[in-house]
Structure 1
Amino acid sequence: MPAVKAAKPNEIFARDEWAELTRVSRWHGLWLSLHAWLMVALITGGTALLWQWHWLAGLIASPVAIALVGSRQLGLSILMHEAAHGLLHPKRRINNFAGQWLTGAATGSDLHSYRAYHLTHHRFTQQPEDPDLGLSAAFPTTPASMKRKIIRDLTGQTFLKQRGNQFAVAWNGLKAMLSGATDTEPSAKRDTSAGTPLNRNGAAGVAAPVVNLDGAKRTTRTVGRFLLVQLAVLAISLATIGIIPFLIWIIALATSFQLILRIRNIAEHACTTTGGNDPFSHARTTHADMLMRMTFAPYWVNYHCEHHLFMGVPCYNLPKAHQLLIAKGYRERMTIANSYAELLRTVTRPVAA
């Protein structure tokens, strides 16, 4: 199918408005990357101190800490997504370093693989060619189905399945690196590896069997960066307060991050009237109060309609873009949910009698 229709900023914004919206700061994106890690340190460190003070206080605080750390892990994925669009820093080398090492590596993502994948999503949003179509096509779903998804996320089943697929590919890539095998060799002599597609945040998705040694090697390097970050978190944890901060970090990565990531993905496109002709229908914006911004919508990720309309607008300018669109009378063309609770009611419907 043809690519979806793009918005024309010059027909919506004045020249000075557009210049302000698309200005990429030299410090804002880097500050947000630092902010995410500082929040992780404060949350995990504070919870560890509560455990030292009294085990009951630590026990009560830990679920809250795990939820908040999962949100910051999503935040790191969002900032990697910003880097994929070249919006984390105006200098490409700094932008790519921050997207690869400061943000993406923490959740097992590769900036460059994700960039190609994600731009395809923008070009063919909700069309058959959209690699993210599977994230929204199943909705609306039943409460029972949603409950099963939540249980899989919060019990670590989703994490284990995704990491298992990713690590299997990485093992094949490592063997290819050690043996010197390449994709230029006859297929009969190659290892059969599983390609690991990335979801909208760059997290590993469900693998599909393919013969792709170059892709497997990239996955090996991605897993290597992921493990280095986990070792760094562990080393800092042990060198300061003890094992508790690392345990909160890794449990959050395996549980709350998975659920928050799922709800974020659902919010963006599920049950929208997306089509190729109206760029205002490509995605949903969800209003978020302070609690939601601390959990499901860090770093303005809830302004997804605005992001699809204008890929060149950094995340910290999306609220301004939203305000301008509303002021200019575009509200009726946009898909907007008043809350995440309203959104979940929209995508979860009982089976008809």
Structure 2
Amino acid sequence: MSAAPRIAPSTLFTPEEWAPFQTRPAWAGPLLVVHCWGVIAFAVVAGVLVPWLIPICVMIIGTRQLGLAILMHEAAHGGLSKTAKWNDFLGHWLCAVPIGADLGAYRPYHLTHHRFAQQPEDPDLMLSAPFPVSPASLRRKMIRDLTGQTFFKQRILLPLAMASDKSRSNSSKGDSAHEYEAVVTGRSILPFLAVNALILAGFVAAGVWWAFFALWLLPMATWFPMVTRLRNIAEHACVEGSSADAFRAARTTRASWWERVFIAPYWVNFHAEHHLFMHVPCWKLPALHRAVHARPQAAVMEVAPGYVSVLKTATRRPR
């Protein structure tokens, strides 16, 4: 197996320059989790009080559901708390389970992705390998996301298929596509249902049972899959030389304020820097981006001016 190329921090920084990126206050990770749920709660209240805002609230909530997935990703790197048990509790029960994921299954899968990024052994390679695709193909994918077809496949068909596989063989893993969807959305179906039953009970107790479906389930079934797809495309698709050069292992996208609100929360757009130094906490990635790009080595890094530009690249016919 060929591991992905790596660089040491000393390639770019002196020990004094690198020191600020190695520290993390104990409150920062938990505060991000509180912030994510606070934005969701605010958008729910706004949608209940002002129903004509519901379409915007659906987009904001769906993006923060992606935010929960991003914070689960942070926990997979041990970034939500210095205490391992607290890190895993936050990452699993408050971030992963509510959206149907499983931190324990996701962590080894994701770390394998880092170890073999863009190599044949990379379990995420199938997310970037098909690109570029035609504009019509991408439209079909996004329509499936926004109409709930992707959600139905991941939350209904995949768990049923997994249950069928287990009934035939306890060691059955299925194909790579099923394996990816399983670790992200399909493997924790019972905890997912239990936690969402509690969330529904909260809406019922507040006298707005309908808001669970309109302002929690609907975003999860529509906007969340779509922005997750955009995230996957932006991170690795169509980055030439990504398997051979650590500086080109991923793409960074310069997200505008509205893209951070509706597409890319919690600095997920700084993916090239994350692959260079994966243990730097997400809230320090903007500073790391500036520090790295002050060095001449960064000239080869893939940086897109926005998500529209990424989609144009992902649908551009090869010459």
TM-score (norm: length of structure 2): 0.92
Would you identify which runs of 4 or more consecutive aligned residues in structure 1 move more than 6 Å?
Answer: none
Letter in 2 for 1:203: V
1:136 Cα deviation after fit: 0.7
Matches within 5 A, 1:79-228: 79-168=71-160, 171=163, 190=169, 195=174, 196-198=178-180, 202-204=183-185, 219=187, 222-228=188-194
Distance 1:42 1:166, change over 3 A: same
1:330 Cα deviation after fit: 3.4
1:190 Cα deviation after fit: 4.5
- Secondary structure of 2:303 counterpart: strand
Q: 2 CA distance for matches of 1:135 and 1:315?
A: 22
Alignment root-mean-square deviation, CA: 2.1
- Secondary structure of 2:179 counterpart: coil
Q: 2 CA distance for matches of 1:278 and 1:44?
A: 44
- Secondary structure of 1:336 counterpart: strand
Aligned length: 315
Distance 1:190 1:171, change over 3 A: closer
Letter in 2 for 1:38: G
Q: Which has the larger radius of gyration?
A: 1
Letter in 2 for 1:238: V
Partner of 2:27: 27
Partner of 2:37: 37
- Secondary structure of 2:205 counterpart: helix
Q: Out of 166, 191, 197, which is 1:231 matched to?
A: 197
CA contact (8 A) 1:107 1:203 kept: no
CA contact (8 A) 2:132 2:318 kept: no
Unaligned runs of 5+ in 2: none
Unaligned runs of 5+ in 1: 51-57, 177-188, 206-218
1:17 Cα deviation after fit: 2.7
CA contact (8 A) 2:151 2:221 kept: yes
1:49 Cα deviation after fit: 1.2
CA contact (8 A) 1:45 1:245 kept: no
Q: 1 CA distance for matches of 2:161 and 2:41?
A: 31
Identity of aligned residues (%): 44
Q: 2 CA distance for matches of 1:231 and 1:274?
A: 46
- Secondary structure of 2:25 counterpart: coil
Partner of 2:65: 73
After superposition, give the CA deviation of every residue in 1:143-196 in whole Å (9 maximum; x if it has no partner): 1101100110000001111112442256469x87xxxxxxxxxxxx85685555
Q: Out of 254, 269, 284, which is 1:287 matched to?
A: 254
CA contact (8 A) 1:172 1:193 kept: no
